[in-house]
């Protein structure tokens, strides 16, 4: 079986994301639950093993593995090359080898991700502890609401995907998805809610001036600028989502060239050309997409969009795993655009909050104590086993 969580991780770290409307799978959404999940009284107790303490409370190993996922997403995977015909097993072996490559100082990407995960755990716990001080700790009733919501979520996923992914219990399902037991996740969720409420309360007090926002935008322009592009997709996939053969693909390229010429001629309304020629499954937006650094689009599509610095009449054909995209740039949105400005404001608030929280760690208002590198090493090994191990029968 193909582990869902592995596919999600690969999509995030490799940019193997789907252009909206181009993915023809899952037309009918998730399947209907077919089995009854195990009752919650069968869940294992929350784990007590911890990697360190901060502010007198534990950073549990399960929490470390949860934040290790986020740390791995931050790794730059630009130099990782995976052949198109690589199997799932080969793909994850290449990813793991890439993460374990050492730099000139003998430090691997995985080593750096581990330290980043420790930092993320520490900052999370600081925000939680500050939230408790500020009166944001959840009441018993609010905690029960969280527990009920999590139970419903876990039961649904186990009943829908349990058989497909070879898991029988709620804990097995959660370990596959989040590298922790159900009760570990409940404990984490309660603290997250407190930390989030505290962060929201603090950030509401941030009132940056227009000049401060502009300065922040200019420092992070690559992150916040939005390029609006339009594309007409000429698909190179059959009805089952499999690639066409070389002869059929060549015919599709010829079709894309003809569409490109029609666009360049200016003799036809672009909306009509999109409706008449695009193979995209959803044309409600007439092929228009806002692309930014953090948006999820297939790699080549996103790279072409972000290279555009001004609106021109240039029309280009960009090839992706979905086919040939006849591409044009329609608009560049910067800080003057209200949508961009609102996003920059949120980014400014988050950045300021993060800096304030990190300062509490830097000035030793909170110190990391009782760090246990043996538990960290074991947690990384457990995480790698869950996330990267595949077997030869995955796709059979």
Give the DSSP per-residue string, 180-208: S-HHHHHHHHHHHHHHHHHHHHHHTT---
**Are the C-beta atoms of residues 194 and 210 closer than 8 Å to each other?**
no
Nearest to 170 by CA among 182, 179, 161: 182
Question: pTM of the predicted model, to two decimals?
Answer: 0.79
Q: Is the pLDDT of residue 192 over 80?
A: yes
Query: How many angstroms separate the most distant Cα atoms in the chain?
Result: 72
For residues 152-180, give the mean pLDDT. 91
Domain boundary assignment for the chain: 31-206+367-388, 226-333
State residue 92's pLDDT score.
83
Interatomic CA distance for residues 366 and 364, integer angstroms: 5
Interatomic CA distance for residues 221 and 344, integer angstroms: 9
Per the listing, tokens 């949120």 go with 346
Q: Taken in order 374, 377, 381, 382, is the CA torsion positive or negative?
A: positive
Q: Is the pLDDT of residue 177 over 90?
A: no
Nearest to 157 by CA among 47, 31, 283, 307: 31
Query: Could you tell me if residue 286 is left (phi over 0), alpha (psi between -120 and 50 degrees) or otherwise beta?
Result: left
**Are the C-beta atoms of residues 258 and 353 closer than 8 Å to each other?**
no
State residue 19's pLDDT score.
54
Exposure on the CB side of residue 373, measured as CA atoms within 13 A: 2
Q: Which CATH class is domain 226-333?
A: alpha beta
Contacts of 149 (CB under 8 A, 6+ apart): none
pLDDT in tens, 239-283: 888 999 999 999 999 999 999 999 999 999 999 999 999 999 999
Please count the other Cβ atoms lying within 10 Å of the Cβ belonging to residue 97.
10
For residues 300-305, give the mean pLDDT. 95
Q: Is the pLDDT of residue 7 over 50?
A: no
Cα-Cα-Cα-Cα torsion 75, 79, 81, 87, nearest 10 degrees, comes to -10
Please state, for a pLDDT cut of 90, what percent of the chain lies above it.
74
Q: Using 50, 70 and 90 to split pLDDT, how confident is the model at 391?
A: low
For residues 85-101, give the mean pLDDT. 86
Q: Is the pLDDT of residue 390 over 80?
A: no
Higher pLDDT, 269 or 84: 269
Q: Which tokens sit at 367? A: 């110190």
State residue 78's pLDDT score.
79
| CA-angle at 30, arms to 27 and 33, nearest 5° | 145
Beta strands 288-291; 226-235: pairing state: antiparallel
- CA end-to-end span of the chain: 7
């Amino acid at each position: 079986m193909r582990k869902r969580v592995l596919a999600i991780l690969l999509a995030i770290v490799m940019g193997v994301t789907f252009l909206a409307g181009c993915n023809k799978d899952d037309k009918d959404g998730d399947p209907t639950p077919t089995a009854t999940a195990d009752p919650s009284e069968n869940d294992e107790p929350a784990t007590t093993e911890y990697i360190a303490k901060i502010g007198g409370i534990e950073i549990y190993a399960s929490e470390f593995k949860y934040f290790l996922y986020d740390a791995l997403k931050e790794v730059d995977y630009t130099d990782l090359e995976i052949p198109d015909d690589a199997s799932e097993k080969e793909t994850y072996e290449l990813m793991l080898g890439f993460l374990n490559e050492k730099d000139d100082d003998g430090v691997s990407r995985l080593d750096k991700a581990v330290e980043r995960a420790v930092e993320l755990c520490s900052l999370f716990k600081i925000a939680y502890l500050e939230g408790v001080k500020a009166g944001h700790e959840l009441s018993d009733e609010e905690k029960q609401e969280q527990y009920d919501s999590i139970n419903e979520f876990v039961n649904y996923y186990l009943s829908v995907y349990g058989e497909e992914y070879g898991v029988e219990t709620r804990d097995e399902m959660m370990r596959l998805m989040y590298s922790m037991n159900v009760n570990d996740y409940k404990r984490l969720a309660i603290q997250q809610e407190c930390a989030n409420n505290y962060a929201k309360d603090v950030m509401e007090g941030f009132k940056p001036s227009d000049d401060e926002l502009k300065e922040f935008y200019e420092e992070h322009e690559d992150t916040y600028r939005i390029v609006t592009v339009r594309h007409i997709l000429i698909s190179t996939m059959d009805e089952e989502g499999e690639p066409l053969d070389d002869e059929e693909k060549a015919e599709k390229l010829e079709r894309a060239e003809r569409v490109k010429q029609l666009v360049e001629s200016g003799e036809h309304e672009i909306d009509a050309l999109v409706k008449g020629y695009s193979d995209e499954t959803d044309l409600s937006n007439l092929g228009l997409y806002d692309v930014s650094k953090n948006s999820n689009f297939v790699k080549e599509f996103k790279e072409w969009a972000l290279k555009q610095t001004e609106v021109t009449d240039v029309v280009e054909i960009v090839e992706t795993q979905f086919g040939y995209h006849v591409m044009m740039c329609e608009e560049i949105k910067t800080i003057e655009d209200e949508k961009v400005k609102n996003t920059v404001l949120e980014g400014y608030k988050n950045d300021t909050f993060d800096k304030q929280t990190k300062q509490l760690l830097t000035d030793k208002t909170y110190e990391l104590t009782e760090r246990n590198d043996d538990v960290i090493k074991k947690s990384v090994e457990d995480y790698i086993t869950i996330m990267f191990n595949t077997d030869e029968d995955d796709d059979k």
